[in-house]
Structure 1
Amino acid sequence: MIHFENVGLRYGMGPEILRDLTFDVPDRSFQFLTGASGAGKTTLLKLLFMSLRPTRGLITMFDRDIAMVPSGDLPMLRRRIGIVFQDFRLLDHLTTFENVALPLRVRGRPESSYRRDVVELLEWVGLGDRVNALPPVLSGGEKQRAAIARALIDRPELLLADEPTGNVDPPMAKRLLSLFLELNRLGTAVVIATHDLSLMDQLEARRMILTHGRLEIHG
């Protein structure tokens, strides 16, 4: 699904933040991306989401060389990816239901075809009683769960999650991990960026460790 070969990234004339990254993310795989704070996990996720272009190296996504993809074609490629940002990026004028359903609305699906699925997913992440609430009245943990539900609702081919359990208690973190695993069993490749060792220790999965801009892979 994804291939990085000798990828490097720098901003302007500064030093490289990421360098010599060579790795694959296979179809239907599950992996954690970890490293110290500031190691570049979020930056790497942005490369995977194609919101950043590398300074050097080759990135192939869905059998396409990203360097050769016109900028106008990138939104269609990104629709194959679900992403959970640390800042949630919910739209304040939309209800929780409407935020979660947004990827389906963008695809032109009528509400009658997805309403039940959205409500069931919100109940699973503990937001069944917040369906009609607007983001400004949600807690940080509730916003995070809404953002996760939005990323999962369209069963993407690839899920990228940046610290998805950072604002929830341990029981909900375990429940969310189960949700990610179920999505993976249904065929989605999953990359979870986290520094939470207790979360990673709950299952045997490949760990991609960023240290000083370089990547080590275990498992």
Structure 2
Amino acid sequence: MIRFENVGLRYGMGPEVLRDLTFSIEPHSFQFLTGPSGAGKTSLLRLLFLSLKPTRGLVSVFGREVTGLAPDEVAAIRRRIGIVFQDFRLLDHLTTYENVALPLRVMGREEASYRIEVTELLRWVGLGERASALPQTLSGGEKQRAAIARALIARPDLLLADEPTGNVDPTLARRLLKLFAELHKSGTSVVIATHDLALMDQFDATRFVLAGGRLHVYD
């Protein structure tokens, strides 16, 4: 599904923040991405989402080498990827329901075909009573859950999540992890960036550890 070969990344003329990354992500797999603050976890997720281009090396996503892809081809690939950013990126003029439903609208689906799906997912993440609320009225934890629901609603081929349980209590964190696990069982590959060792210990999953700009893989 994903293949990196000798990938390096630098910002501007600075030193490489990621270097010599060689790894693959298989279909239907589950990975944790961890490492100290500033190790480059968010940068690696952005490379996986194609919102950053590598400085060097080869990146292949869904069998396509990404260098030289046209913008519409990149957009088509990104529609197969769900992502939860740390800054949530909810649209302020849309309600919680509308934010979560947005990927389905972009796919051209009529609301009647997805209304029940969106409503049930909002209920599952504890936002059933906040469906009509605008993002500026949501707490940080509520925004986090809305962003997670939006990433999950289209059942992507690949889910990328940057500290997805960082703003929620332990009980809700376990519910969200159960949701990620169910999505994985249905065929989605999952990559979760986290510092939470207790969280990682709940899953028998591959661990990608970033340190010193390099990636170490532990199965």
Residue segments in structure 2 that go unaligned for 5+ positions in a row: none
Q: 2:57 is matched by which residue type in structure 1?
A: G
CA RMSD of aligned residues (A): 0.6
Structure 1 residue 48 displacement after superposition: 0.1
For 2:61 and 2:68, locate their aligned partners in 1 and report how far apart those are by CA, in whole Å. 11
| Structure 1 match to 2:18 | 18
Q: 1:85 is matched by which residue type in structure 2?
A: F
For 1:194 and 1:77, locate their aligned partners in 2 and report how far apart those are by CA, in whole Å. 25
Q: 1:100 is matched by which residue type in structure 2?
A: V
For 1:151 and 1:89, locate their aligned partners in 2 and report how far apart those are by CA, in whole Å. 11
For 1:195 and 1:77, locate their aligned partners in 2 and report how far apart those are by CA, in whole Å. 28
| Structure 2 match to 1:29 | 29
Q: 1:20 is matched by which residue type in structure 2?
A: D
| Structure 2 match to 1:147 | 147
- 1:160-186 residue CA offsets vs partner (Å, 9 max, x unmatched): 000000000001111100000000000
| Structure 2 match to 1:161 | 161
List structure 1 runs of 4+ shifted beyond 4 angstroms.
none
For 2:70 and 2:112, locate their aligned partners in 1 and report how far apart those are by CA, in whole Å. 35
| Structure 2 match to 1:197 | 197
| Structure 2 match to 1:118 | 118
Give the alignment of 1:99-138 within 5 angstroms.
Answer: 99-138=99-138
For 1:51 and 1:66, locate their aligned partners in 2 and report how far apart those are by CA, in whole Å. 11
Structure 1 residue 198 displacement after superposition: 1.0
Structure 1 residue 71 displacement after superposition: 2.5
Structure 1 residue 68 displacement after superposition: 2.9
For 1:11 and 1:42, locate their aligned partners in 2 and report how far apart those are by CA, in whole Å. 13
| Structure 2 match to 1:184 | 184
- 1:133-153 residue CA offsets vs partner (Å, 9 max, x unmatched): 111110000000000000000
Q: 2:141 is matched by which residue type in structure 1?
A: G
For 1:96 and 1:68, locate their aligned partners in 2 and report how far apart those are by CA, in whole Å. 36
| Structure 2 match to 1:58 | 58
Structure 1 residue 72 displacement after superposition: 3.0
For 1:68 and 1:51, locate their aligned partners in 2 and report how far apart those are by CA, in whole Å. 14
| Aligned partner of residue 87 in structure 1, secondary structure | coil
Q: 1:56 is matched by which residue type in structure 2?
A: R
| Aligned partner of residue 129 in structure 2, secondary structure | coil
| Structure 2 match to 1:74 | 74
| Aligned partner of residue 216 in structure 2, secondary structure | strand
| Structure 2 match to 1:4 | 4
For 1:195 and 1:42, locate their aligned partners in 2 and report how far apart those are by CA, in whole Å. 12
TM-score, with normalisation over the residues of structure 2?
0.99
Q: 1:146 is matched by which residue type in structure 2?
A: A
Give aligned pairs, total: 219
